[in-house]
Amino acid sequence: MKITVIGAGNVGATVAQLLANQELASEIIIVDVLEGIPEGKALDMYESMPIMGSDSKIFGTNSYEMTADSDIVIQTAGLARKPGMTRDDLLVKNAEIVSSCISNAFKYSPNAYYIIVSNPLDVMTFLAAKITNLPRHKVIGMAGILDTARYRSFISMELNVAMQDIQGMILGGHGDTMVPLPRFTTVAGIPLTDLLPKEKIDAICTRAANGGGEIVKYLKTGSAYYAPAAAAVQMVESIVRDQKRILPCSVMLEGEYGVSDVVVGVPVKLGKGGMEEILELKLNDEEMASFNNSVGHVRETIDEAKKLLNM
């Protein structure tokens, strides 16, 4: 298994380190435009492998030639959010960055699975799908896994219970219009709605929707990277080890949930075939209305990106 990580920043470097620590690939390539940065970080990681007990080989480069014949490509390169900046504010610059990166990677790895992490996530995944023209099961955005992880973390904080006992689901766009689903959330099989009053659940849902912005406010000069990297690596693990995990990811819809030609977060089965199945939840009227509102926002941003890139 050969995996390429595009971007040697905080997210990309953390992704590469986690991949190597878990030995999810025999060879990991970190590619970045900054001279010396991917090479230096990769060598540092490589030198940690004897301590971690991993035989993963890690190399850094400024050239895409070394990425040839990758099985999985993870796109993390892009500008980080700054205080007061929404994910959509990143649209223009990151659309240019992602388009260039994916085009270069696809030239050398046309058969790879592509996992997109760059923001605004749903739009960047849509661009990657259109640029590569790959079937939808091969281009997948990391969104709902991160959102749901934040949601589950806040539930754990409120109830003081083990993380592993909490299961939840968040649909829709990766941003302020995401759709947490308390009705599908359980703690050791117990419905969340039996454990917390509505006002507490609403507050948790709101904090989850603003989770990335909350971290940006603290960091001031950067954005989240530990949790986003862990989410991307969970996707890789499910594919590499054919785990068939049911995880919320951003994929191109073709009629599911009554939506077509838009990338948005839905529960999917991830295995050796990439996105192997989309699960359609039976949403009630309120949930469906929230989902359609989120889809509408993503579609508007996609349309804006199309105009900017003359697609």
pLDDT tens digits along 60-102: 999 999 999 999 999 999 887 666 766 567 788 889 899 999 9
Give the chain's domains with CATH numbers: 2-141 (3.40.50.720), 144-308 (3.90.110.10)
Q: What is the 3-state secondary structure of 254-296?
A: ECHHHCEEEEEEEEEEEECCEEEEECCCCCCHHHHHHHHHHHH
pLDDT, position 175: 82
Average pLDDT for 112-129: 95
**134-146: pLDDT as tens digits:** 999 999 999 899 9
Determine the pLDDT at residue 297.
94
What does pTM read for this prediction? 0.95
Taking the alpha carbons at both ends of the chain, their separation in whole angstroms is 33
Whether pLDDT at 265 is above 90: yes
Q: Is 102 helix (H, G, I), strand (E, B) or coil?
A: helix
Buried b (16+ CB within 10 A) or exposed e, 242-255: eeebebbbbbbbee
Residue 180: asked if its preceding bond is cis (omega within 30°), the reply is no
Catalytic residue numbers read 174
pLDDT-derived band at 171, boundaries 50, 70, 90: very high
171-190: average pLDDT: 94
Q: In this structure, what token pair is assigned to residue 64? A: 């895409």
Contact 299, 309 (CB under 8 A): no
- DSSP per-residue letters across 128-153: HHHHH---GGGEEE--HHHHHHHHHH
**Segment 21-66, tens digit of pLDDT:** 999 999 999 999 999 999 999 999 999 999 999 999 999 999 999 9
Confidence band for 311, pLDDT divided at 50, 70 and 90:
confident
Spatial distance between the Cα atoms of 49 and 277, rounded to a whole number of angstroms: 35
